Amino acid sequence: MTVIQIPGVANLRDVGGIPIGSRRVREGMLLRSGQLAKLTSEGDTMLQTRVRHVVDLRDDAEVFSEPSALTAVQTTRIPLFLGSVESFFAQDMDLAGMYRHLVDDASSRLVEAIRIIAVDEPTLVHCTVGKDRTGVTVALALSAVGADRDAVIADYALTASQLPEERTKAIVQYLAANLPNARNAIQLATASPAHVMAELLTAIDDEYGSAADYLQNAGLTDAELKGLRTTLVE
C-alpha cells in the first residue's frame, strides 16, 4: 500500500499493490482515509484528480460536526454504526466487540459500501479517523478478492501510526479525565492491533467459509462479486 500526503487529510493511502496470489490489487482504485473536514483548497484539487466516488461511513452527528470539504466528487453516505459512536464508549466495548457488531448487525450496509467499490471507478472510503469502520470495510473488500491475509492485516495495523499525534494525545487526555474507569476507551479511539483484525477475519472464515461467502450471504450478488474482482485485481 502507498501512504499519500494531501493537505488536510490524515491516514490517506492507496491499497493498490497488495498481493493477490501472483497478481496484485490495482493501484488507484481503492483509497482509504479519515474525514475530509480539514481538506485545504489545494488538497481538494489534488484529491479530485484521484477519486471519482467517496463512501462516507459516518453518522449524522459526525457529518454535522465535521462536514466534508471535498467538492465536485460524488459522495454516498452509508452510516455503518447502528447506534452512536458515544454508545460504544459508554458500553466500554473493545475493538473486537465493535467489529463483531459491524459484521453481525451492519452486514447489509457493508455490502452497500462494497457495491460502490465494485463499480470500477477510483473510490475513497472513509469514516472519522479511517480506522474501524473503514478498516473493516476495506479488509472485507480485499479479502473477498483473495488478497494476501498478512498484507490485509498489515494495512489495517498501519493506521495507528498514521493518526495525528496531537489528536491522539488530546483524546487520551480527554478519556482519562472523563472516562477514568473505562478499560477499553483508549484502545477504541487510537489503536489498530493486528491480532484484532486477524481474529475477525478468521472468525468470518470459520462461520461463513470466506469473506466473499459472508458478503454474498448478506446480499452481494455473483455479478457484484465479479465486478469487485474486476475493479480490484490487476
Strand ranges for 29-149 from DSSP E: 30-33, 53-56, 74-77, 123-126
Q: How confident is the model at residue 111, as a pLDDT?
A: 98
> What per-residue confidence (pLDDT) applies to 147?
98
Q: Does the pTM of the predicted model rise above 0.85?
A: yes
Fold of 2-232: Protein-Tyrosine Phosphatase; Chain A (3.90.190)
Q: Which DSSP state fits 30?
A: E
Spell out the residues 6+ positions from residue 98 whose beta carbon is closer than 8 angstroms to its own: 88, 132, 188
Our CA angle for 126, 133, 67, nearest 5°, is: 40
**Nearest CA-CA partner of 150 in 213, 95, 197:** 197
Q: Decide if 71 contacts 85 (C-beta within 8 A).
A: no
Residue 185 has a pLDDT of 76
197 vs 70, 114, 150, 220, CA distance in Å? 30, 18, 10, 22
| Phi, psi (degrees; rounded to nearest 5) at 8 | 95, 0
Extents of the domains making up the chain: 2-232
Task: Encode the chain (234 residues) as per-residue pLDDT tens digits.
Answer: 799 999 999 999 999 999 999 999 999 999 999 999 999 999 999 999 999 999 999 999 999 999 999 999 999 999 998 766 667 766 778 999 999 999 999 999 999 999 999 999 999 999 999 999 999 999 999 999 999 999 999 999 999 999 877 777 777 777 776 667 667 777 778 889 999 999 999 999 999 999 999 999 999 999 999 999 999 999
- Per-residue model confidence (pLDDT) at position 83: 66
Residue 84: predicted pLDDT: 64
Q: What span, in angstroms and rounded, lies between the C-alpha atoms of 126 and 47?
A: 13
According to DSSP, the β-strands at 23-24 and 53-56 are unpaired
Instruction: Compute the chain's Rg from CA coordinates.
Output: 17
pLDDT of residue 184: 75
